[in-house]
Amino acid sequence: MASDPVDRRELARLPIGMFDSGMGGLTVLHECLVTMPSEDFVYLGDTARFPYGEKSQQELEQFSVQIAAFLERVGVKLLVVACYSATSAALPALQERFSTPIVGVVMPGARAAVQSSRYRRIGILATEATVVSGAYPRAIHSLDSGAEVVQQACPGLVSFIQEGDVASRELADAVRGFTVPLRERRPDVVIMGCTHYPLIAPMLQRHLGRDVTLVNPAAEIALEVEGILARQSIARNEAREGSYRFYSTGDAEAFRTVGARFLQMPLDEVAPVTLDELAALV
Tens of pLDDT, residue by residue over 61-99, are 999 999 999 999 999 999 999 999 999 999 999 999 999
* 0.85 exceeded by pTM: yes
**Is 154 marked active-site?**
no
The catalytic residue among 65, 83, 112, 189 is: 83
Q: Select the more confidently predicted residue: 5 or 13.
A: 13
End-to-end CA distance of the chain: 33
What pLDDT does 150 receive? Answer: 97
pLDDT digits (tens, 9 = 90+) for 166-205: 999 999 999 999 999 999 999 999 999 998 999 999 999 9
The catalytic residue among 194, 200, 203, 273 is: 194
Residue 266 pLDDT greater than 70, yes or no: yes
What pLDDT does 1 receive? Answer: 37
Confirm if 275 and 249 have CB atoms less than 8 A apart. Answer: yes
pLDDT digits (tens, 9 = 90+) for 139-155: 999 999 999 999 999 99
**Is 194 marked active-site?**
yes
What pLDDT does 3 receive? Answer: 45
SS (HEC) of the chain: CCCHHHHHHHHHCCCEEEEECCCCCHHHHHHHHHHCCCCCEEEEECHHHCCHHHCCHHHHHHHHHHHHHHHHHHCCCEEEECCHHHHHHHHHHHHHHCCCCEECCHHHHHHHHHHHCCCCEEEEEECHHHHHHCHHHHHHHHHCCCCEEEEEECCCHHHHHHCCCCCCHHHHHHHHHHHHHHHCCCCCEEEEECCCHHHHHHHHHHHHCCCCEEECHHHHHHHHHHHHHHHCCCCCCCCCCCCEEEEECCCHHHHHHHHHHHHCCCCCCEEECCHHHHHCCC
Percentage of the residues of the chain whose pLDDT score is greater than 70: 98
What pLDDT does 6 receive? Answer: 53
